[in-house]
Structures are given as structure tokens and as C-alpha cells.
Structure 1
């Protein structure tokens, strides 16, 4: 189970670093072809979402890898699950069902990762 958790953490961290990083450095106008939902949000909100995603990605790896406050790792995974739940709501209300399904899949992986990490913390 620990190896599977590390794999899930790493995959989520890569995904959220890329997605969040793009929201931080690319202008909303340039993101429209890939992320049409950005037209409904202020640039500051998009940057805030990007910052949450990047910080969550760091939280998925750093606390557990350094063994400094490892309880923050499942908290980060749960927080990213919340971000994905919000993303799913946005996509479904906009009729972007394939994107919503993707958000739900990532939500499930993040939630299962948080649950697995909490179980591993409580058993150690």
C-alpha cells in the first residue's frame, strides 16, 4: 500500500503542478482554448486556484518525504479533492461533461489518497 500511495501522490503532484502552474503564468485569454471556463472568472480567481493547486502539490510530497508534519499530506490531498469537486460543479453547470468526468476521476483519486494516507498515519 505505501508504494501505491507514493505513486498516487506523485501523479497528483505532477498533474496539479502543471495545471496550477499554467493558471499562474498563462494569461486567461491564452487559456481559453484549453480551459473555456476561465471566461466566467476574474483573473485573480484563476490565479488563486492555480496557487492552491501548486501549494497542494507541494503538500502532497514534502511533508511525508521529509517526515515534518506528515499529517499535512492527507490534508493536502483532501484539499485538492475539494478543488476538484468545485471544478466538476463548474464544468457540469457549463455543460462541459467530459471535463466534469475528468474532475470527478481526479477527485476520487485525491480522496482515496487522503484516506489511505490517514490510515497509514494512524497505523504507524
Structure 2
């Protein structure tokens, strides 16, 4: 893995670790100011999304760091691409039509996939 991967994957992992922890631990009222879409989703779905984000963040860092199954980093980054492909329509169908962050995360995750494959 190169330095560019570690920088991009590190930033992405920090974001998703933070975001995932919020979704996994906070109640709907405390999430609403940041994530207007939580009113349209059952809380168990929000909690699962939080857990997926935390596991994905770990998957970006731990496998390449330990050398054990480093291909999991590619899978984690690809999972974040898919997550954002699903998140954009959720934001567009609700009151919160701001998808700039989602597009940025999608692009960052795609770059991470590219860097993780060594190309």
C-alpha cells in the first residue's frame, strides 16, 4: 500500500467511524439535526447502517496494516461506494436534498478502491 492510500483511506475511515458511532449510539432526536432522513427509517436500520460503517472503517485500515487478507480493504471501499449510491436517492427523496457530501464520499471511496488495487 502506498502513502496516498493511507491518507485517503485514513480520512475515509475516520469519517465513517465517527458517522457510524453516531448512528449506532445516538437516539433519533439527537441524530435529526444532522441527518434529517432518520425520521423516514426505522431505528434498527439506522443502527445497522452505523455498525456497517464502523466495520467498513476497520476494514479499510486493519487488513492492510496487519497484512492479513488485505483484499478486504478493497471490499470495504467498494462497500462504501455502494453505500453512497444508496444514500443519494434517500437524500433526494426527502426534504434534505443536500447530496454534495454523499458525492464527495462516493468519489473518495472510488479513489480508495483504485488505490487499494494498486493501479
TM-score range normalised by the length of the shorter chain: over 0.9
User: Where does residue 102 of structure 1 map in the other structure?
Assistant: 101
* Higher relative contact order, structure no. (Cα contacts within 8 Å, ≥ 6 residues apart): 2
How many Å apart are 1:119 and its aligned residue? 2.7
Task: State TM-score, norm by structure 2.
Answer: 0.94
Task: State TM-score, norm by structure 1.
Answer: 0.90
Q: Is there any run of 5+ residues in structure 2 with no aligned partner, and where? A: none
User: Where does residue 76 of structure 2 map in the other structure?
Assistant: 76
Encode CA deviations 1:57-83: one digit per residue, 9 max, x unaligned.
000000000000000001100101111
User: Where does residue 61 of structure 2 map in the other structure?
Assistant: 61
Moved over 3 A (4+): none
Q: How many residues align?
A: 119
1:1-124 equivalence runs, <5 A: 2-98=2-98, 100-119=99-118
How many Å apart are 1:47 and its aligned residue? 0.2
Encode CA deviations 1:72-108: one digit per residue, 9 max, x unaligned.
001100101111111111111225332x121011011
For the aligned residue pairs, the C-alpha RMSD in angstroms reads 1.3
**Equivalent pair of 1:61/1:73 in contact (CA under 8 Å):** yes
Q: What is the DSSP-based 3-state SS (H/G/I as helix, E as strand, rest coil) of the residue aligned with 2:118?
A: helix
Q: Is there any run of 5+ residues in structure 1 with no aligned partner, and where? A: none
Rounded to whole Å, the distance in 1 between the matches of 2:114 and 2:75 is 10
